Every structure is written in C-alpha cells, then in structure tokens.
Amino acid sequence: MSNGSFPPEPGRRGGTLAIVLAALIPACFAGWLLWSSVGDAKDDGTEGAGAPTTSSTSSPSPPSSGAPVAPSPPTPSGDASGKQQPGKQSGKPLAGKVVVLDPGHNPNNRDHPSQIARLVDIGTDEKECDTTGTATNSGYAEASFTLDVARRARTLLEARGAMVRFTQDGDRPYGPCVDERAEIGNKAHADAVVSVHADGAAAGERGFHVILPKSVRGGGADTSAITAPSRRLGERLLSRFAQATGSEPAQYIADGSGLDVRGDLGGLNLSTVPKVFIECGNMRDSQDAAELTDKAWRERAADGVAQGITDFLNE
C-alpha cells in the first residue's frame, strides 16, 4: 500500500475498542447520577408551589413523621381547647334544658284535710290549696299514679340531658298548694312544665286529654305570654302520648279534640313559663283503670310524656 504502511492486525483493533468503552461507561454513569440529583432538587416543593397537589374534595393525607399538625377545630359544645362547656352534654338532645314535672296531688293529702282545704289566690279567683285526687274502684290512688309516671318520665328526660325538677316527690307532708306548684316552675325558669294527672269522670268514659291555659289576666295572673307556646307543648304531648300508649283522646270533653282550654286552674293561671296538664285516663272506668294500674302501660305513658316534651323543646 502507499506510504509503506501495513494494515493493523485483526486482534489489536478489537482490543483498542474495548479499552475505550471501558473508560467511557463509568464516566457516563457518573454524569447521569449528577444530572439526576440536580433534577430531584428542583422537585422538592420550592418551585411550582401554586400547582394543586390534591383535589379540594379529597381527604387530606396524614402528615409525615415529625411534621407540625394543625390544632383541631373546637366542637360545637366546646371551646378551642376541646373542653366541654358548662351545661352542655355532647349528643344529648335536651342538654341545657330545664323541665319541671308536677305530679298531681300528694299521697299524704288525705291525712291533712284542713291544710289542703284552705283557699289560695289563683289570680282571677280563690281555690283550694289542693285536693286528694281520685282513685280506681280498687283503691289505686291518682297521687300514686302521678308520682310513678312522673318518675319514669324523669329517668327518660335526664338520659336525654335535661335537668328535671319535681314540685313534690312524695317527700312533703301534703301539697304543695297550686300557687306554689306554679311558682316552682317559674323560679326554675323552666323551658317546659307538665302536670301529670288522671281523671275521675263517669264510668264508661274513656281516653286522655291535655289541658291548656286560657288567656287570662287579673290579680297575679297573666298568661298572655305563655298561651301560644303552651298550646304547642300540648299538641306535641297529645300526639306522642297517643302514639306511645295507643290511647285515644277522650270523647266526653273538648269535643273529642283532646285539647281542653281552662282558666280556672291556679297551676296554669299563675305560670309564667309554658305549662300544660295531662289527664292520662279515667280512673273511674274499668278499662282505663286496667291500663293505669299496669306498670308496662305506665312506662309507655311516661315515654309519651317525655317524647312530647322532647319534640317541643327541639322545635
């Protein structure tokens, strides 16, 4: 060939190429590692901060270990520290509400005839301090019935968070008088007062009814502010009592409506807070008496009273 050169030997060309590649591969790999680390540094969140990372409707991911955690918002019944506020009980529908239950009459009234017969002012008139109430033919007293139903209702209402007060709990020698019964509810600033009774109508007359305050004004009586809320309380009580007991409104009074309006009861006339009476049945009727003397029925009656009050207070 020209210049006097000779072609390389076949074995030497392959060896040289292998040496060159062996030198280049590590260098390329090192360069790639350097480029990758620089690229990762640009994705650490310092750039592109305005780009969304999760959907606004998705649940936030839990923070990584060591990351600061934002304080939880206060619960509706608590403060920023999460502590419960006074008078509030989480999950209790009647938390903070005051209910006064007025068990009609008193089992000991019969032993104090002169005391309960004295007249007291009911605003528009005078009336006896209290009476003995009625009884079934077998001798089961209305006063015993009213205490039992009221105590059962108290248990249900307290379980719902209400503060429940009684006008008497069988712990007084007699009474209290009707004017004091009203005053107890007034001083308690009760959100609702229910006076529990049973009627003494003629045999053959059945059913229950609710007594509402009439709008009256005179002396110490002025029910103008409570007639409307008392009616709402009475309507809720009427509905729930019927549902709980299966009883029907009495047909012998108030045209069968179940709602009787009266202006001659001191316990209503002197009340300044929503208040009604409920006559749970007729103790002088054998069929009603069979229910009134049954513990299971009285539990249902208490449930009707408690639920009617609950509905009213949750309006």
231, 145 contact by CB (below 8 A): no
| Residue 82 one-letter amino acid | G
Rounded-to-integer distance, Cα 160 and Cα 165, Å: 14
* Distance, first Cα to last Cα, the chain: 114
Question: Given 3-state DSSP classes, what are the helix, strand and coil percentages for the chain, each rounded to the nearest 5?
Answer: 40, 15, 45
The sign of the torsion formed by the CA atoms of 153, 158, 163, 168 equals positive
Rounded-to-integer distance, Cα 125 and Cα 270, Å: 11
Looking at the DSSP bridge assignments, the partners of residue 218 are 221
Rounded to 5 degrees, φ, ψ at 126 are -120, 150
Helix (H/G/I), strand (E/B), else coil: 259: strand
Q: Is 279 an active-site residue?
A: yes
Q: Which of the residues 235, 279, 291, 299 is marked catalytic? A: 279
Q: What is the DSSP string of 5-70?
A: --PPPHHHHHHHHHHHHHHHHHHHHHHHHHHHHHHHHTTSSSS-TTS--S-TTSPPPPPPTT---P
Q: Could you give the C-alpha distances from 104 to 127, 130, 175, 293, 314, in angstroms and in order?
A: 16, 9, 9, 16, 26
Residue 115 burial by Cβ neighbours in a 10 Å radius (0-12, 13-18, 19+): middle
The neighbour count for residue 96, using CB atoms within 10 Å, is: 16
Of 83, 156, 77, 143, residue with least CA distance to 116? 143
Active site residues: 279
